[in-house]
Structure 1
C-alpha cells in the first residue's frame, strides 16, 4: 500500500470514528450491559454519572467503582431473581411407615446487574407416613390384626385434651400410657377412626349405662388417638380389619365384651366426643 493510500485510510478511519462517537455516547447507544467486573464493557469519551466526560463503564460493578455511564441505571436496570412456585410433593419415601417427602422449585429468571440473589432454599422436605404399601387391612396379611382385641371406653373420656382431670398419665389409661411411652415418645401419626357394626354382645354390658348402647346391630364410631397407639405398630391394637369380624372389650365393665364388623375404612377424622355411640381405643 502506497503512503498516499495509507494516509487516506487513516483519515477515513478517524472520520468514521469521530462520526461514530457522535452516536455512541452511553450504554444504550453502545448496546452494552455486562455482568460483574468487565474491563471491555466501556464507552470512550462519554459522560459519567458524576457529570465528568471520559471512559465510563456499563458493567454491574461500576456503581461500586463509581465509573458508570450516565444512563447505566436506566438502561441496565437491576433484575431480581424470580423463582417458580413450589412443585408437588413427592411420594413418601417409606411406603409403609415414617418417611420423608420432597418438593422443589425452579429459577424462572436469573439475577442480573446487581439484583436480588436467588434464595438458597430451592428444595424442601417434610416428614410423612406412607400407607400405600402397607399390608395391613388386607385380609390375606391381617392375621395379627384379626386376633387382636380392641379395648374401648366412651369417647367423652378423651376430653383430657383440655382437662387435666382426664390426662392419660392419670386416668384409667395410665398403665397403658406408661407401658407404651416410657420415653415420652408419641407416634406422629394423626388420629383416625372407623365405623363398626356390633354383631355380638355379652349380657354383662347391661350393667353400665355407657355400655348399653353396644347392642347387636348398633353402629358405633371408634377412634384411635396417638397416646393409645402401639409404638412398634404405630397404630392402635384391635383397630379392626375392613369387612371382617373382630373382638372388643369394654374397659372397667366386667365381662362386657363382644364382636363387631368394621364397615368403613380408616380415615383421618375424629368421632363425636360427646356422642353416646362414640368410643376410643385404649
Structure 2
C-alpha cells in the first residue's frame, strides 16, 4: 500500500513539473519582433538570474533575454534583392544623376544584420546636352566609394575588349559633414576615415569613365585650380563635403584609408 502511494505521489510531482515547464519553457514558440514588453516568460535568463525574461528583438540590448533565446529565436539578417537597371539620362542633362534601387526581401529580426543601402546614384557624364557639352562635369558632386568596393568591377566592356586603365586625381579635403563620422555599418565604415586637411586619392576608370570621355564626374579637370568642388559618399547621401584638386597622376599613392574611386 505504501509503495502505491509513493508511486502516485511521484506521478503527481512529475505532472506538476511538466505543467510548470510548459508554462515557462523559455522562448520556445514565443519569439517577438521589435520591442514587446508582453513577450515574457518566467525562466532562467542568460545572466543566470531566475525570473522574468524576454524573447523580443530588444532583449539583446537590455540584456534580459531568456537562456535559450539564441537557439529558439535565431538571428535573421536582412535580405535584399538585386539592383534594378540604372534610370536614364535625358539629352538635356535633366536629371543630372542616374539612380538604381533594390528592395528588401526579408527584414532583419532577432538582432540580425541591418539592411544595407537600398539606393545608389551616379552621374550622367557619358551623355551630352543639346549644345554638345558633356553632362555633369561641373554641375553635380563627385560620387565616391572605398577602393575596397571597386574590386568587383568589370575589367572588360560588353564586347570583351579590355577597358582603359584610367588615372588618379589627388584632392585636399576641405570639409565633410558630421554624418560621416557616425557611420558604423560594415559597408560604410570607410567614411569615418574621411578627414579634413588630408590629401586623398580618387581613381577614375571604367565604368565611371565611359565612351572614351577621359574624365569622371566631379574630377575637376575642367574647373579652375582654386575651385572648391563637391563630393558625396555612395551609401550615405548625408556624408558629403568639399575638396580642392591638387593634380592628376597615373597611379594613386595615398594610404588605403584615403584612397577612393569615382562611381
- The verdict on a shared fold, with TM-score over 0.5 as the criterion, is no
Q: TM-score, normalised by structure 2?
A: 0.40
Q: TM-score, normalised by structure 1?
A: 0.37
As a proportion of its length, which structure holds more helix? 1
Larger radius of gyration: 1
